[in-house]
A and B are shown apart, each in its own frame.
Chain A
Amino acid sequence: MTSRIIVLHQSEIVRKGLASMISTLWKKEIVQISDMNQFPDRDLCMKCNLLVFVETSLAEEVLILAEDSKVEAVLITANNQPVTGDLDSLRCVNLYSDISLLKGIVDDFIKNEPESTAGENDLTQREKEILRLVAMGYSNKEIADSLFISIHTVITHRKNITGKLGIKSISGLTVYAIINRLIDPGQIDLEKFI
């Protein structure tokens, strides 16, 4: 089952700001959308683990669409906005609140990611993370340093990734990472990495 983090807000500043904070902290790709038309349909909601940061005015619609699914909605509130009704039970991040609150919410979500249910040939979250860095041209040492793990562990992960995908070359892994949306081709110089 795939998991995704979505930021749903009309303000581009809020979307980009939140997404940038989350992706810096967890190296995860964040889906940014401005209205419900771009929101995943019900089928996908049932199939995915979604963590949705949503502005208060759109939260009701998300809850309806996400009923009985594994979608967790988190309200994005401003200082003086009252929260009422069904929304009362949801967790909130306030635009002025401390980052630790945001960190706690995302940490919980990542901890519950269904790594153990990954199929034999599916990459685990950790492997995806490493693949992403490999595809962006980082050396084993740089990857080890940025994830606080040993080079030996990085090499073991890389062997497992290659074993599962059947792709060995770095440029092949880069192509895989792009077509599986693990990295954004805009982030790298394609001519150099492929």
Chain B
Amino acid sequence: MKLFTSEDKLSRVVTDNYHLLPVINRFGIRLGFGDATIGEICAERDIHVPFFLVIINAFHHPDYFPKSEFLKFSPRLIVDYLRHTHQYYLSWVVPKMEKQLENLVESSQTNTEDLRLIILFFRKYKSELLYHIKDEEDSVFPYVLRITAAYEDGVPLSEEDWGKSIETYEKEHSDVDEKMTDLKNLVIKFLKADYNDNLCNDFLITLFRFERDLIDHSRIEDKILVPMITRIENILKNDQ
């Protein structure tokens, strides 16, 4: 596994894996960076280099599991990154998939009823996804930020927060993941192919890419954020 380092040119990162394009956008980096290296670009934009590297390497290598010594950055950065990711889903990917499905229905001559069911199912999936995102935004992230403030800035924790742990906060992603898989299988295996093939392919490609992005998103939460907060919780409790 060859990991990206701060000496690598960012243009090479993008040509190696174009799926990383939206990932680097989440850091406020836009194209047109010439031959600048990751280190140079991050310095210019005041981006924390080790954090940037962990994120792009975790996305690029599904088996990459950064050891704790590489996790020397504030959980605030992760929350900030995850919020940008949510924003990308809500403002771009989900509406795009919905539009693509609507186009697919319009392209069908005789099977619109079945396709409408798929849209209905997609909307159910969407509402669960939005609920999950809202839960993270409204309860998980604020808790992470309060724990971080207690650890980094000495802001006292409330009585209520002392009794909590990140483990109880992080809800299972499984229901949402399950519906995503069902949606894929319904379209690929069971839907009568009475529609414009290219429109269907567009939809599925968006869906596959979104699936991959979500897997990465969950890994960052489960493998990086949760262990980091658990460690801080233990330190705070021992110091109490």
Interface residue ranges, A against B (CB under 8 Å): 165-169, 171-172, 175-176, 178-180, 185, 190-191, 194
Tell me which residues across on chain A come within 8 A of B113, comparing CB atoms: 185
Chain B 110-137: CB-based contact to A (< 8 A → 1; otherwise 0): 0001100110110010000000000000
Report A43 CB to chain B, min CB distance, Å: 18
A-contact bits for B178-216, CB 8 A (1 contact / 0 none): 110111011001111000000000000000000000000
Instruction: Find out whether the CB atom of B189 lies under 8 angstroms from the CB atom of A166.
Output: yes
Tell me the bound Cα distance from A180 to B113 in angstroms. 12
| CB of B161 to closest CB in A, whole Å | 34
Which B residues lie within 8 Å of A167 (CB)? Answer: 182, 185-186
Which of A166, A176, A190 is B120 in contact with, Cβ under 8 Å?
A190
Kindly count the residue-residue contacts between A and B in the assembled complex, taking CB atoms under 8 Å apart.
52
Beta-carbon contact of B185 and A194 below 8 Å:
no
Tell me whether A176 and B186 are in contact in the complex, defined as CB-CB below 8 angstroms, given that A166-B181, A168-B181 are known contacts. Answer: yes
Residues from chain B with Cβ under 8 Å of A194 in the complex? 117, 120-121, 124
Known pairs A171-B182, A175-B118. 9 more at Cβ < 8 A?
Answer: A166-B181, A168-B178, A172-B179, A175-B117, A175-B121, A178-B114, A179-B190, A179-B192, A185-B117
Closest A residue to B192 using CB positions: A179
Contact of B117 among A165, A169, A190 (CB under 8 A): A190
Measured between C-beta atoms, what is the minimum distance from B123 to chain A in Å? Answer: 9
- Residues in chain B near residue A171, CB distance under 8 A: 121, 124, 179, 182
Q: Is the CB of A165 within 8 A of B185?
A: yes
Q: Mark B147-188, 1 if CB is under 8 A from A, else 0.
A: 000000000000000000000000000010011011101100
* A26 CB to nearest B CB, Å: 24
Instruction: Give the Cβ gap from B26 to chain A, nearest Cβ, in Å.
Output: 30
In the bound complex, CA of A176 to CA of B182 (Å)? 10
Chain A residue, CB-CB nearest to B116: A190
CA A191 to CA B124, docked complex, whole Å: 9
The contact of A172 among B114, B182, B191, B192, by CB within 8 Å, is B182
CB contacts (< 8 Å) of A180 on chain B: these are 190
Is there contact, CB below 8 Å, between B117 and A168? no
Judge whether B124 and A166 touch: CB under 8 Å. no
Q: How far is the CB of B33 from chain A (nearest CB, A)?
A: 42
Among B117, B178, B191, the one with the most A-chain Cβ atoms within 10 Å of its Cβ is B117
